[in-house]
Structure 1
Amino acid sequence: MKELLRSIAGYFRVQHALFLIPIGAFAIYDSVFSAFSSVLAVLWEMYPDVPRAGIQMILAVPSLASIPTTLLAGVLTSYMHKKTIAEIALAFLLVGGLAPVAIAEPHIGLLFASSALIGIGQGLLHPLASMLVCQYWESKSERSRVLGFKQALNYLGAAVVSLLVGLLAFMQWNFAYLIYVGVIPVLIITATQLPKGQLEDRLIDCRHLSSGVRKLLTPALMYACFIFCAVSLFNFAFQSNIAMLINEKGFGDVVDTAVITAILQIASFAVGVFYGQIVKLFRRYVLLPGLALLATGFLMVAFAPSMAVVLVGGTVFGVGAGIQYVTTLYSTSKSVDQHVVSMALSLVLALTSLGFSVSPIVIEGVKDLLFGPGAGADVSLAIAGVGCAALFVVECVHCRFFAKEDRLDDVVPDELVD
């Protein structure tokens, strides 16, 4: 029994553990806006002249706006300390997040502007937490665990946020934006606790452009860009359609949608905690169970006859999403040389944001083309499930013929030199 407890304690023991506090806070506020899926059904009723895809785009605009700033974050790390970048990002989140609260019935244009400011902040913050993990934890075995812990904090915080957003929106829809008041303590923690870190090497400049690009654009990274952009395109269909599906089938209201989102986050939280063990079990095949669970969860929710089945399907989807997202970060971090990890993360995360951004247009376009404009949210979710199943087949081929064996190392990283 003692040995079991000692091994469990050893799994959670990592260097630089205190740095996980600001890193976890970044991760939470990087994804807070996804919890606003519970508000979409209310907005659809408030703005009847705006098409369904237009309402969904309110949730997608942050991903679209974050694309250039996510790419910019990788470049800025060579000129600005990561702490400074984080403070700028949090300021954008604070202004953009609280703007809709100031007006009782804001114009739809203000909601898009607010989403754009939030997206700019998220774009800077999105790769930053993962960059810090890759900087402070160089061992692949420890890095996979810490990336999992970071995402576990993300999902746990997102579960709490989802419930709060639902409760606030139930009182008045724009009260949901009050969740961004929490950015204030995060900004204080960042200013007081996060070390400046070190500037990245300027590998991609006028003198070393060719060699820098070759170091960055490896075949492994190019495949990561494709697969994770595609999976994010399908994944976003859950957030953008779950509230509408529940509304169309009469399963519940905005609070019920928030509960499903929270359960999804809790399931992903459990995956994040034990992601290090999942990697050791599946190694190079770690993405396959994630894609299989995503497809299963989508189809369960799409064809659910009751709210109970929606809850189960959402849980299955949450487990798959947890595996998939941490694998995005882990696979990217080991697909390139350590010196260009920040640029690689910025590139892949920018493309995943692109997938989120175009998701409503692509999914709704395919649905209208195949089933007509009268088809409901269940059809959109079914299309996304079939898409994840297709990506599962693509990943099987990649693992069988192209992927190299993933050998976890046990090198203990040196202490951080500030």
Structure 2
Amino acid sequence: MLSENSMSIKSRLPLKIGILSLSLVVQAAGAVAAAVPFIMNDFSDRTTAQVQSILTLPSMAILIFILLSSWFIKALGKKRTVCLGLMIALVGGILPAFTMNFGLILFARILFGAGLGLFNSMTVSLIGDNFTGADQKNLLGIQSAVMTLGNSLATFAAGLLLTISWQASFLVYLVILPILFLFLFGYRNVNENPVETTQSSTIGTKRRKLPLSVTLGILTLFLFFISLMVVITSSALLIQELALTNQGFLSTALAIAGIFSSLVALAFGQITKLLKRFTPVVVISFAMVGFFTITLAPTMTVFFIGLLVVYLANLVVPYVYSVILSDVDPEANNLVVSLAMVACNLGAFSSPYVINFISQLFGMTTAVMQVRIAAGIMAIIALIFLFLAFNKTTTPISKEEL
């Protein structure tokens, strides 16, 4: 239930903008990837792995501080924790633009990841705190789209700044400053505790364990990112094995597919109204068709169409978050969303190792077979969601579905 204070806000638009703006930067750690070769030139005494860690260290820090964020929230409250995270990320983000000390650059990247990790889970949980029903579903779809578009825009802006110098590319993180002001403006009148005390205690006594829908939802996110990352890690090898012409179009195809996925996510609320509990089953079924299409593609055009279909599966992410926000004690939203985000990141990180292990286990090491293994994992995910769709006791029903 929303607090009376938050319900009395006349205009919800500033609040929506403030919360959604946080998602613009949460996936921007890799925006400066194009600067790595230039950094290597200036730090020729460092190994390639050391320079590449500039890109990987933030991810490690993000994972750690996603888990620690609940402690900060208890100590500081959500608003102060978000502001602290943004300020830390701002300092860590732009610091490499002003130093040639390699150790300090690495520290700055850890700092940047720590800042992002502090408010990462709240990009979703704050939506659950302040919005319900159709509003909540629509915002979860928009949040997913904003996150993807934010990463694309940051990468593009960093590339423009790279024409000045590799240090200038880190100035892209100055975007955090207006995000901080947007959040402070939109979140200024919101009660930190959206759940009434009397209800919290009642809910807490009834829900001591995670509902099955939430537990399985988190598991599917882990499996989902193991499968989806194969598209990124194996596509280049796949088109070589298929001997497709115009292979240089791959990076553009992946970028367009990501933007297409963002646009589809904007309609998430409407799609769930239509498909209801079967939303993830339908989109994953389409994704499986997409996986097999790209393994059989005779041309890059067909391959590109297959990619677009595969990326429809990204609707699984806001769907699982909507289940979490609907079926968990609101006081536990942030912790459970944090666990879900850790599952996403661990799935993405472990994907090449898991897929390689399975492919070697069955003696199928080609890129074509690895993509088909990923399709098999998607089939398992579809079966889990099919079970949840028919098990009404584990899947929350919104008012729109009644």
TM-score, with structure 1 as normaliser: 0.73
Q: Tell me how far apart the structure 2 counterparts of residues 306 and 38 of structure 1 sit (CA, whole Å).
A: 29
Q: Of 247, 271, 283, which aligns to 1:278?
A: 271
Distance 1:368 1:391, change over 3 A: same
Q: Of 130, 133, 137, which aligns to 2:127?
A: 133
1:399 is matched with 389
Q: Tell me how far apart the structure 2 counterparts of residues 347 and 392 of structure 1 sit (CA, whole Å).
A: 21
User: 1:187-206 counterparts in 2 under 5 A?
Assistant: 187-195=180-188, 197-200=190-193
Q: Of 347, 356, 361, which aligns to 2:353?
A: 361
1:78 is matched with 74
Distance 1:119 1:291, change over 3 A: farther
Distance 1:405 1:86, change over 3 A: closer
What whole-Å deviation, never above 9, does each CA across 1:255-280 have from its counterpart, x for those lacking one? x5553343223222222221111111
Structure 2 residues not aligned, in runs of 5+? 1-9
Q: What is the Cα deviation at residue 184 of structure 1?
A: 2.7
Q: What is the Cα deviation at residue 332 of structure 1?
A: 1.0
Q: What is the Cα deviation at residue 240 of structure 1?
A: 4.3
Distance 1:37 1:398, change over 3 A: farther
Note if 1:152 corresponds to 2:142.
Answer: no
Distance 1:185 1:386, change over 3 A: same
Q: Tell me how far apart the structure 1 counterparts of residues 20 and 379 of structure 2 sit (CA, whole Å).
A: 31
Specify the code of the residue in structure 2 equivalent to 1:309: V
Distance 1:312 1:15, change over 3 A: farther
Specify the code of the residue in structure 2 equivalent to 1:81: G
Q: Tell me how far apart the structure 2 counterparts of residues 60 and 296 of structure 1 sit (CA, whole Å).
A: 32
Q: Tell me how far apart the structure 2 counterparts of residues 36 and 296 of structure 1 sit (CA, whole Å).
A: 34
Q: Of 289, 300, 304, which aligns to 1:296?
A: 289
8 Å CA contact 1:127–1:346 kept in 2: the answer is yes
Q: Tell me how far apart the structure 1 counterparts of residues 306 and 164 of structure 2 sit (CA, whole Å).
A: 28
1:89 is matched with 85
1:386 is matched with 376
8 Å CA contact 1:74–1:343 kept in 2: the answer is yes
Q: What is the Cα deviation at residue 285 of structure 1?
A: 1.4
1:11 is matched with none
Q: Tell me how far apart the structure 1 counterparts of residues 282 and 161 of structure 2 sit (CA, whole Å).
A: 35
Q: Tell me how far apart the structure 2 counterparts of residues 101 and 405 of structure 1 sit (CA, whole Å).
A: 48
Secondary structure class of the residue paired with 2:307: helix
**CA RMSD across the alignment:** 4.4
Secondary structure class of the residue paired with 1:286: helix
TM-score, with structure 2 as normaliser: 0.75
What whole-Å deviation, never above 9, does each CA across 1:127-151 have from its counterpart, x for those lacking one? 11212111111x3232112222332
Specify the code of the residue in structure 1 equivalent to 2:139: V
8 Å CA contact 1:96–1:116 kept in 2: the answer is yes
Q: What is the Cα deviation at residue 212 of structure 1?
A: 6.8
1:335 is matched with 327
Q: What is the Cα deviation at residue 26 of structure 1?
A: 0.9
Instruction: Give the share of equivalent positions with the same residue, in percent.
Output: 21
Secondary structure class of the residue paired with 2:124: helix
Q: Tell me how far apart the structure 2 counterparts of residues 302 and 41 of structure 1 sit (CA, whole Å).
A: 32
Distance 1:120 1:192, change over 3 A: same
User: 1:184-223 counterparts in 2 under 5 A?
Assistant: 184-195=177-188, 197-200=190-193, 214-223=207-216
User: 1:13-412 counterparts in 2 under 5 A?
Assistant: 16-33=12-29, 62-98=58-94, 116-137=110-131, 139-164=132-157, 177-195=170-188, 197-200=190-193, 214-242=207-235, 251=246, 259-321=252-314, 323-371=315-363, 380-401=370-391, 404=394, 406-409=396-399
Distance 1:246 1:177, change over 3 A: farther
Q: Tell me how far apart the structure 1 counterparts of residues 368 and 38 of structure 2 sit (CA, whole Å).
A: 18
Name which of structure 1's ranges 397-406 and 178-187 shifts more when overlaid on structure 2: 397-406
Aligned length: 382
Specify the code of the residue in structure 2 equivalent to 1:134: G
Q: Tell me how far apart the structure 2 counterparts of residues 164 and 157 of structure 1 sit (CA, whole Å).
A: 10
1:414 is matched with none
Name which of structure 1's ranges 301-310 and 63-72 shifts more when overlaid on structure 2: 301-310
Distance 1:82 1:251, change over 3 A: farther
Distance 1:65 1:240, change over 3 A: farther
